[in-house]
């Protein structure tokens, strides 16, 4: 029997990249998936793939920076499915003008709300459902930038992802008595559409050597299938061909 049969998994940012890979991996293990993102057409495409494999998928598009829309999805899950076992809190954004010399208040708001506020909103919806069943798992996609401040992601993205890391650990501190576990996932460079928002384009050869979305989906599957008595509090996944390390080595030559 699939290891997640009977489980309900809500995946945000599910229309592409890590979210899509996570949704497909969890569905492959038997989970019923709720797919959320901004673009209904992308979500429909992912849902169709899941259904073709015999899985069950519900499409719930939303702008997750709007708390009321997030709450509406929570109400849908509670009313239609009756429980929530897994939240893959994955949606995130970056912008081209991400550094201090070009940042504007509007850009700052987009980065903070798109990477931190929306994640917090989803948690406030998920926790009541999980507390009621004394069980649940939250997996948050942060970034290695949430642990190590570097040049690529930009300062506000890094600050927001540091917030996601702190958020996840604080959930374990308070909710462990309710059987709830929280994992923060810190990927390095991943070949996803967010790379298209970089000031300096990344070519196909470099992308091929990065972490792939499917690698992340497999790791999220592994975390979701861990037994209830353990929690993987934090995990990093980075490419072997690490461009930051290589740049540092070249400076020393």
Which helix (DSSP H) or strand (DSSP E) does residue 235 occupy?
A: strand 234-237
- Side-chain-side CA neighbours of 37 within 13 Å: the count stands at 26
157 in active site: yes
Query: How are beta strands 234-237 and 8-12 bridged, if at all?
Result: unpaired
Please tell me which residue in 58, 121, 157, 245 is annotated as part of the active site. Answer: 157
Residue 14: exposure state from Cβ atoms within 10 A (0-12, 13-18, ≥19): buried
Contact 108, 158 (CB under 8 A): no
Range 194-218 burial, b when 16+ CB lie within 10 A, else e: bbeeeeeeeeeeeeeebbbbebbbe
| Tokens 């592409």, located at residue | 16
Active site residues: 157
């Amino acid at each position: 029997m699939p290891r997640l049969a009977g489980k309900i998994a809500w995946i945000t940012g599910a229309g592409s990249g890590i979210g899509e890979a996570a949704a497909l991996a969890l569905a492959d293990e038997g989970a019923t998936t709720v797919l959320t993102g901004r673009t209904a057409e992308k979500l429909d495409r992912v849902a169709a793939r899941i259904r073709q494999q015999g899985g069950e998928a519900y499409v719930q598009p939303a702008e997750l920076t709007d708390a009321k829309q997030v709450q509406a999805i929570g109400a849908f899950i509670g009313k239609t499915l009756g429980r929530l076992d897994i939240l893959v809190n994955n949606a995130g954004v970056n912008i081209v003008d991400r550094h201090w010399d070009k940042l504007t208040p509007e850009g700052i708001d987009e980065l903070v709300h798109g990477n931190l506020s929306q994640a917090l909103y989803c948690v406030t919806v998920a926790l009541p459902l999980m507390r009621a069943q004394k069980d649940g798992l939250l997996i948050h996609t942060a970034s290695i930038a949430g642990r190590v401040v570097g040049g690529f992601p930009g300062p506000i993205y890094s600050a927001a992802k540091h917030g996601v890391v702190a958020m996840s650990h604080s959930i374990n501190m308070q909710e462990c008595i309710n059987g709830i576990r929280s994992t923060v996932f810190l990927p390095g460079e991943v070949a996803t559409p967010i790379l298209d928002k970089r000031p300096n384009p990344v070519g196909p050869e470099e992308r091929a050597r990065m972490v792939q979305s499917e690698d992340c989906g497999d790791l999220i599957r592994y975390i979701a299938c861990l037994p209830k008595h353990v929690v993987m509090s934090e995990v990093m996944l980075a490419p072997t061909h690490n461009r930051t390390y290589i740049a540092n080595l070249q400076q020393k030559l």
